[in-house]
Amino acid sequence: MPKSGNIKEYMKNKFTLEEFVEFCQQNPYLDNIKKTLEVEITKDLIKKIDLKPKQGGFYYTSQLVDIPRLLIENKNEIQEIFDGPNDDILTINPSLIDGAAKNIHLQHITYLLLAKKFQKFIEEKRQLFLMPRNGFENHDKFIAWINNQTKKFRKSDKEEHKFSFIQSRALIANTIIRLINNESKKYDSSVGFCISDYWYLIFNYLIFNDPFFNDKSKDETRKKKLKTQIKIPLQKNPQTGTFELNILISKNTTKDDIIKTLDKEWKTINDWQERLPSVLKYRKKSLDNLHRDFIIYQLSQKGLNDIEIQKKVGDLELNHIRKIISDTKKRIEKTWGK
- 149, 3 Cβ separation under 8 angstroms: no
CA distances 178 to 16, 19, 130, 181, Å, are 16, 12, 17, 5
3-state secondary structure of 15: strand
CA distances 56 to 16, 43, 59, Å, are 10, 18, 9
Distance (Å, rounded) from C-alpha 62 to C-alpha 161? 10
Helix H or strand E encompassing 60: strand 59-60
Distance (Å, rounded) from C-alpha 23 to C-alpha 27? 6
3-state secondary structure of 107: helix
Task: Mark out the alpha helices in 209-305 (DSSP H runs).
Answer: 219-224, 255-275, 287-301
CA distances 179 to 92, 124, 206, Å, are 30, 11, 11
Distance (Å, rounded) from C-alpha 122 to C-alpha 145? 17
Q: How many CA atoms lie within 13 A of 1 on its CB side?
A: 8
- Residue 305 is predicted with a pLDDT of 94
CA distances 299 to 81, 126, 311, Å, are 50, 19, 11
Task: Mark out the alpha helices in 90-164 (DSSP H runs).
Answer: 99-114, 116-128, 139-156
Give the residue ranges of the chain where pLDDT is below 70: 1-12, 77-101, 157-163, 189-192, 215-253, 272-273, 275-283, 338
CA distances 149 to 8, 128, 251, Å, are 10, 12, 61
Distance (Å, rounded) from C-alpha 132 to C-alpha 126? 7
* pTM for this model (two decimals): 0.57
